[in-house]
Each structure stands twice: as C-alpha cells, then as structure tokens.
Amino acid sequence: MRGSPLFLCVFSVSCWMNLMPTAGDRIFHFGACRVSISMTEIRAGFTAIKANIVSICQAPGGLGEPLEPLWSQQLHSSDRCCITYQLFTFYVDKVFKHCRTEDSFVNRKISSIANSFLSTRRKLGQCREQNNCLCGEESTEKFKQILANYEGLNVTSAAMKSLGELDILLDWMEKSR
C-alpha cells in the first residue's frame, strides 16, 4: 500500500516525541496547593551559564551540605513546600543580586533565572498564606546552618557558589515532586 511507509514514519516520530521532555511549566503539588514552575526555562538558563560559574567559584565544600540528609528523605508536602520557599527566598534576597560578572551573556541568563525565581517565590507565598507551607523543626534548623555558613563567606564568592549549586535544588524539586 502506498501510504504505509509514510504512516509508519509518522507513527515512529510521534512515539519518539512522547519520550522527549515536554517544554514549559511543571506543576508541583504541595498538599492542596498547586504551583506551576517554569523548570525548563530555569534549567535552560542554568545550563547555559554553568561552565562559566564553575570557573568563577573555586571555594571548596558545598553550601547546601546541611540540607543533604533531607534530600534523600520522604518529606511531608508542607515541609517540601517550606524548604522550596525558603531556598527560593534565599536566592532572590541574598544570592542573585551579588552575581554580577563581566560577561554580559551570563548576566542576562542570571537575570532570567532571578526573575523566574521571583515569580515562583510569589506563587509559593500564596501556598504559605493557605498554611500549606510550614517548616518542620529539622528543616528549620538545617536552614539556619545554611544561612550561617553563607554569612561567613565573602559575599560575591558565596553568591556565585550558591548559584553553582542551583542544580542540586532543581534536581531535588523534580525528584521529590
């Protein structure tokens, strides 16, 4: 039959497409609170600048280390929401503003990530208002450690280091979703 090869081709292409990650927003459920986060855009921005950031920040150790025991745990949705909110706030309030490089391209990508984080933080704030975003004792304690470690470092290097660790946060968010 004349049409069979064409049909097979179309069919296989559509199968292949289903395996590809979908572009756009991802919906995160924090209890009753639903937040759509443009993970693809944040990831794309981060991937574009990761190599540049790694070469900038040479300081050893990870700032997110205190949170590491939590990454592998099954957390309550409220705890997950709280950690996400706290980390997004941390990045918006303390990190991005000190991440200025000589490279205009890197600065533009950082702006893109910062603006995405700002809009996401705002959405997570709505979950907080609905009391779906309360931190447990453990995560509150861990978070205090992160802030203490951060304040102890030089502002710019601490900011760039935190930016370099952004993918740990993104990986955890997608894994625990």
**Residues making contact with another protein (CB under 8 A):** 1-4, 6-7, 10-11, 13-14, 17, 20, 22-25, 38, 41, 45, 92-93, 96-97, 104-105, 107-108, 111-112, 114-119
Give whichever of 68 and 103 is closer to another protein, judged by the CB atom: 103
Helix (H), strand (E) at residue 26:
strand 26-30
Cβ 98 vs Cβ 155: under 8 Å = yes
Residues 6+ apart with CB under 8 A from 54: 164
Contact (Cβ atoms closer than 8 angstroms) between residue 57 and residue 164: yes
Closest approach of another protein to the CB of residue 130, in Å? 21
Give min distance, CB of 159 to another protein, in A. Answer: 12
Query: CB-side exposure of 43: number of CA atoms within 13 Å?
Result: 17
Q: Which of 165, 124, 125, 129 is nearest to 37 (CA)?
A: 124
Nearest CB to another protein, comparing residues 72 and 105: 105
Choose between 77 and 116: whose C-beta lies nearer to another protein. 116
On the CB side of 38, CA atoms within 13 Å amount to 15
If the CB atoms of residues 7 and 145 are measured against another protein, the closer one turns out to be 7
CB of 30 to another protein, least distance (A): 19
- Pick the closer one to another protein by CB: 78 or 162: 162
Nearest distance from C-beta of residue 111 to another protein, angstroms: 5
Tokens representing 151? 């304040």
Q: Are the beta carbons of 29 and 81 closer than 8 angstroms?
A: no
